[in-house]
A = this chain, B = another copy of it.
């Protein structure tokens, strides 16, 4: 049953007996405790190295009741927006001496819920959720076990969950204002999303259109070929898509239809992912300060671990990034 190669891994006791001291002393020495003489410490370090000792995080976590490890739950590995947030969370965690373990669960709510439980059962000290698909009640329950922060999604008022988000409504308004300033009036919004962020962006679009006196021009369409085809035929001069992925679709569609971008059609996205930079022409889009999101998320978790009880919801101001597609 055990692998053929399985020499049982050395423990503190092995190091201790090899060095002729007690296991407690080995533990102290390896953790750099002050009350260990320099000579002994060095001898112990050498022996530990020689026998290939590595501490068991499992045992340590069990004893200490904390793991120095954060869990990150992510639903999509193929949306750069999510993965870039995770990367920024990792960077921030590392600065705090914490490490991050990722659990991935597609858009399957049940599976995502399992992954949340798994991270908690493993002893994660906190959870960063980068997914709008994890059911909120699962997170509320999770928050009773360890601090939870949602990134890119705002939690319900008194759920026990913190959140870091950008102001999607305002971001959408920035886009509309930009297009209006460029002289556009027929500005359509392309979205397929029923997720909170998508809804907020749509609301922001509609409000900004009304504010610009363009109530009659409000037009929301799905990103499917038929709807897009109709859109391009009816004199629409600018399209604001709910995210970069869908903006790129619109772009491709317009170029295939022989339209010149941005002269005949302006296209704007949201998220400022690598897709926007890579697109031809490069996409105008909305930037969400993802690096700040990561570090704020980690900061919020640490505050909770230090005892904060009230929920905190941070909202970051988005910035318009103008490129050549508008």
Contact = CB atoms under 8 A, between A and B. Distances in A.
A24 to B, nearest CB: 19
Interface in A86-141: 86-87, 90, 99-104, 106, 115, 117-118, 120-123
Interface stretch (A76-84, A166-174, A285-293): A76-84
Contacts of A274: 78
Contacts of A87: 77, 104, 106
Interface stretch (A3-11, A13-21, A25-33, A198-206): A3-11
A194 to B, nearest CB: 22
A61 interface: yes
A158 interface: no
Which of A54, A78, A144 counts the most B-chain CB atoms under 10 A from its CB?
Answer: A78
Contacts of A58: 58, 61-62, 67, 121-123
A122 B123 CA distance: 11
A165 B101 CA distance: 26
A151 to B, nearest CB: 15
Interface stretch (A39-47, A214-222, A234-242, A305-313): A305-313
A184 interface: no
A95 to B, nearest CB: 13
| Copy total for this chain | 2
Which of A56, A80, A248 counts the most B-chain CB atoms under 10 A from its CB?
Answer: A56
A317 interface: no
Nearest to A308: B4
B104 A103 contact: no
A66 to B, nearest CB: 9
A69 to B, nearest CB: 8
B56 A62 contact: yes
A43 to B, nearest CB: 23
Nearest to A80: B78
A68 to B, nearest CB: 10
A295 B160 CA distance: 39
A103 B160 CA distance: 28
A254 B5 CA distance: 54
A117 B309 contact: no
Interface of A: 1-5, 7, 9, 54-59, 61-62, 67, 77-78, 80, 83-84, 86-87, 90, 99-104, 106, 115, 117-118, 120-123, 143-147, 160, 248, 252, 255-256, 274, 278, 280, 304-309
* 9 nearest A-B pairs in the assembled complex, by CB-CB distance: A102-B102, A77-B83, A57-B121, A4-B309, A58-B62, A58-B123, A58-B61, A57-B122, A4-B307
16 contacts: A5-B143, A5-B144, A56-B121, A57-B118, A58-B122, A58-B123, A62-B62, A77-B84, A77-B86, A87-B104, A100-B104, A101-B102, A101-B103, A122-B122, A252-B278, A255-B280
Given A3-B146, A5-B309, 16 more contacts: A1-B307, A2-B307, A3-B307, A4-B307, A5-B160, A56-B123, A58-B58, A58-B61, A77-B83, A77-B87, A78-B80, A78-B83, A99-B115, A122-B122, A255-B280, A256-B280
